[in-house]
Structure 1
Amino acid sequence: MGQKETIIIYADKRYQQLYHGIDIKGEKIGFYPFRGASAYIKDCPADVVLIDCGLKSAAGLNLLKEFKEVNPHIPVLFLTDDDSREVAVKAFRAGARDFLPKPINLTELEEEIVSLLQLKRSVREKRSSFNPKVSEYKIDLPLNLTAKLPAFLLQTIRYMEENLGQKIRLDDCARAAGLSRYHFSRRFKKYLGMAPMKFLGVLRISRAKVLLANDKLNVCEIATKVGANAVSTFCTQFKRFTGMTPNTYRQLARKK
């Protein structure tokens, strides 16, 4: 049986009782007070975190920002009594994995937590079987790219691969596919499960991983080769996709 995973909930005592009904088999659930939560951020043992700020949306957003600065790889669900669009946008910008206005449905919340835990397990398994020294890059998708794909998708992917070092816009991809921007976006997401520009980002990071593992180019040169407009942007995106900096990835890759 695998190691138990931990769910940490930051909430005032009056809200904590709402979460005692959460029943996720085999997982540990811990509670910390929302007030003074900053003291419990460092070395947080959580696999998933819930922040319930009640009506204190400003304080909740500050806690979220502080938490993500210290623990950027731990997914956070942000819960609040303030369901305004402004708070939702700020929460996502601060790094929340999801924004959940209250009242909440515990069953739906459990499903969300289980989904995040499964995603983290999948990432861990991929890292444990990490073998970046390959001549070709592969992309993690909900679809096997060796399967027979529609011609417009093959044309688009080929266009992206051939122009990774250039600025690629959604209109460019739609033109390569021979479709209108609207129909292209809908059909692309239907087949590959993600938006075209997100797929392009995955493609660029995949190419960068191969270059980092097998090439002598420095990070700045690799950023240029995969179409990043600045090294800082490239490093941020790379870490978001892989959980590590380009230099850390290179060091791990070359130890294999």
Structure 2
Amino acid sequence: MPKDPEIEAHPHGPRHVAIIMDGNGRWAQARGRPRLFGHHAGAKRVREVVEACPSLGIKYLTIFAFSTENWKRTQVEVAGLMSLFRRYIAKEMQALAAKNVRVRFIGDRVRLDAKLIALMDQLEIETAGNDGTHLTIALNYGGRDEVARATKRLAQDVADGALRPEDVDEETLPKYLDTCVLPDPDLVIRTSGEARISNFLLWQSAYAEYEFIDTLWPDFTAGELARLCQSYGARDRRFGAVKA
């Protein structure tokens, strides 16, 4: 990617950015094309954003690719998205590994097809030794579903005697979440003009800053990400406290 003087780290910029990549379907429909055309355009945009992260000081990037609610879409769109995920992983695997990107997937894999799961496993293995940008892809992910699954595992440990009920607190549950090895997001961005979080990282985003922007995801650029990071860096984050 060409060097852009606007794409540089803010001294107090976010370390972990999470993005709800919304607007692919509307972007395509505005051009008289099927919704899947927009999803393909959105997938290409991911590469530019991932490549911009090191320059912006973003160590962790989490993207919302497919929610537990997205199964409600038409069979054609869901099948097309699953095919897109398989092609994206296969196509980008070498590039991500070469760029020192560590990839993880979060979400419930049970409903995904075997070929996709195998590719996800392979990508995680291929990039496991990388220590550059940590890219986390939320696939068949829902915040409530994640908390429910985590609670089941925690309850089983209590039942097995591995954990005492009195030891369960707000520091305990995160250890059972899909994101247990990740820091909480500092900044959550949602594209396309919608002002809701859509069941994304509910526990983890308790103190995140939010940006709801009108840009549709296929039009989102590294430059816009840089501007949002600059805005974040200027915010006064007190985490419930007040200045003395």
TM-score tier (shorter): under 0.3
Larger RCO (CA within 8 A; separation ≥ 6): 2
* Larger Rg computed on CA atoms: 1
Structure with the bigger percentage of helix:
1
